[in-house]
Each structure stands twice: as C-alpha cells, then as structure tokens.
Structure 1
Amino acid sequence: MKHLFLYRSLSVSSILWINMALVFMYGTLKKGQPNYFRIEDTDNGQAKFIAHARSVEKYPLVIDTEYNIPFLLNVPGTGQRVYGEIYRVDQKMLKFLDDFEILSPEWYERIKIQLEVLVVDSEGENTLKPGSTVETDVYIKTTYKQEWLQKPTYECYDTNGDHGLKYKEPV
C-alpha cells in the first residue's frame, strides 16, 4: 500500500521525468551553437533545458583538432570554472548523446560533475534553485595529447568566440 500511495502522490509530469538524466552541455550542443539542432530533434529523444550552470571545480576547456572541437579535459583543479547548460534527457536522448560523443576511452567518457546552478528555467517543474549545487553527467575527455594542457582554456565556449576557432562539422 505504501508504494501505491507514493505513486498516486506524484503528478503525471513527475512520473515522466523519473527515468531521466541531468546532462551538462558546455560546447556545440548548447543553445545557439552548431549542434543544438540535435538536442531539439525529438527523433533523438527528449531533452528539456533546466538551467544555466557552471562547474564547481575548475576544468580545462580547450579547442583542438582540424574541426575545432571543444573538449573538457578531466583535470579537475586546473583551467577555469566552465559555464554551460543543464538538460533533463530521457534514455533515448542519453543513448543518442553517448553515440554522438563517441563514448569510448579514446574519445569521451560520461562522468558525474558538481555544478553551481546560476539561472533556472522559470517554466514547468524545476526543483533547482539559483546558488544550489547539483550533480549531473558530463562528457569529458580523459585521454588527450599532453600539449593540450598548454592550450588556452575557456570558461564559456562559443563557436563564434574571440578565439577565432569556428567549429567545422566532421565529415
């Protein structure tokens, strides 16, 4: 009976969000960036913008390869506190993101990261509050060239930024 009561006390929208993940987007998947259309494409799954946030710890966010891809390196304590967006995604979108980010030891790994919530979406159900911290998934590079640690780091990626390294779609 106890479980039935808990189930009945949840709203329909709460039930839909139970099997969702929070993911931090810091690069080309953010709003206004070249791959954001992939987040909006419901054929890839469901994603809802939740909040703007920044990493609690510093991380190096660098741009490299012939395609000018932004990479967050798994070197906590170096670099800058990185700004990005938190999305609530369903399992289908999470699988899409795993494939898109080439989840593998050579490319990205999906790990947990602590974020400081900055500005929340005022629409819908959102339990995050500005100034609070939340743990989300993030795609991070654990294998990289050592010279990447000497590259300039960024706190907020924008393909049209002052760095002059506009993202190029890999072919």
Structure 2
Amino acid sequence: MFKMTQVFVYGTLKSGQPNYYRMLDAANGKAKFLGRSRTVDSYPLVIATQYNIPFLLNVPGKGHCVRGEIYSVDEKMLKFLDWFECCPHQYQRTLVKLEVDEWVGEGENNPKAGSIIETFVYSTTTYKPEWLQNPTYENYDSYGDHGLEYVCREDRCPK
C-alpha cells in the first residue's frame, strides 16, 4: 500500500482557483485537504509568461512567506501533479518548511496552529533572471487586483 504524501499548493491548484477542479477529479487520484499554512522562509512568488503562471522561485530569503494549502495525495495524484507541474522540466518537487495556520485533517499527530512541518512543494530554479524583478505575492489569486488572470493551456509539458 502506498503512503499518502503531503503537498503544499500555492497557485492555480488552491481552492477557488482555475485548476482546483483537478485536485477534485478522481481520475487524477485522491487529494484530501488538510489545512492552510505559509512557508517559514520567504520566497519570490511571481506571475510570469504570456500565460500568467504563478511561479515559486527557489530563492529563499527573497519575497514573502507564501500562503497556501496542504493536501494529502495518493500515488496516482502525485504522478498527475508531477505531470501537471512539468516536473522536473519546469518545476522541481522539493521539501519546504511550513508554519501551520489551520489544520482540519484528522488522524494521529495532527499539527497545531504555529507548528512547523515539512511537505513537498513545486518550485523552480529554472526561470528568466528578469522574473526576480517582477512583483512578488504572499497569497496568489488568479482573479486578484494585479489583473494577470491565469491563461489555461493544454500543451503543458515536453514529451
């Protein structure tokens, strides 16, 4: 039996965002919402490319402590997320330390608000240097005041 894996999402896969439906689609696997958190270290969360994609640049110490959601996912969903995030070509799945804001998941050893945990996140070390000059965000919202609504595309990953 495959152990469930925890993943931190901060962009279009969060509830209320354009790709959230993918987290709910049983054909992609199973994803269970556990809680809300923020990164312990600050990172630049920028919106870039003609598709207005949110990118978490793996540059600790710059930007903001980024807010997002934690999900427990099965092996099928993890494989789907790797494909969806073009891992390892565009994003890399790495461990990140998070401070728990709210935990609703059930089970043993549930972290309390303020606890520090470690989960996987999709971040990138592959980006255009000028992206570091883009505005950075603490909490991504495709429909935010920035006016950079996400543009869906299906030609996601190199074959």
Q: TM-score range by the shorter chain?
A: over 0.9
What does 1:84-99 correspond to in 2, within 5 Å?
84-99=68-83
* Distance apart, 1:61 and its partner CA: 0.1
Aligned pair 1:142/2:125, yes or no? yes
2:80 counterpart SS class: helix
5+ residue gaps, structure 1, are 1-15
Measured in 2, the distance between the counterparts of 1:30 and 1:133 equals: 20
What does 1:1-171 correspond to in 2, within 5 Å?
19-104=3-88, 106-121=89-104, 124-125=106-107, 127-171=110-154
5+ residue gaps, structure 2, are 155-159
* Distance apart, 1:125 and its partner CA: 2.4
**Taking every aligned residue pair, what percent have the same amino acid on both sides?**
58
Match of 1:3 in 2: none
* Distance apart, 1:120 and its partner CA: 1.2
Given residue 78 of structure 1, which amino acid in structure 2 is its aligned partner?
K
* Distance apart, 1:128 and its partner CA: 1.8
Deviating 4+ runs (over 3 angstroms): none
Measured in 1, the distance between the counterparts of 2:125 and 2:80 equals: 20
Match of 1:12 in 2: none
Given residue 148 of structure 1, which amino acid in structure 2 is its aligned partner?
W
Given residue 164 of structure 1, which amino acid in structure 2 is its aligned partner?
G
1:20-75 Cα shifts (integer Å, max 9, x gaps)? 11100000000000000000001111110001000000000000111100000000
Measured in 2, the distance between the counterparts of 1:111 and 1:147 equals: 23
2:27 counterpart SS class: helix
Given residue 97 of structure 1, which amino acid in structure 2 is its aligned partner?
L
Select the structure of larger CA radius of gyration.
Answer: 1
Match of 2:157 in 1: none
Measured in 2, the distance between the counterparts of 1:63 and 1:161 equals: 11
2:117 counterpart SS class: strand
TM-score (norm 2): 0.93
Let me know the Cα RMSD of the aligned residues: 1.3
2:21 counterpart SS class: helix
Measured in 2, the distance between the counterparts of 1:129 and 1:36 equals: 25
1:98 counterpart SS class: helix
Measured in 2, the distance between the counterparts of 1:79 and 1:124 equals: 32
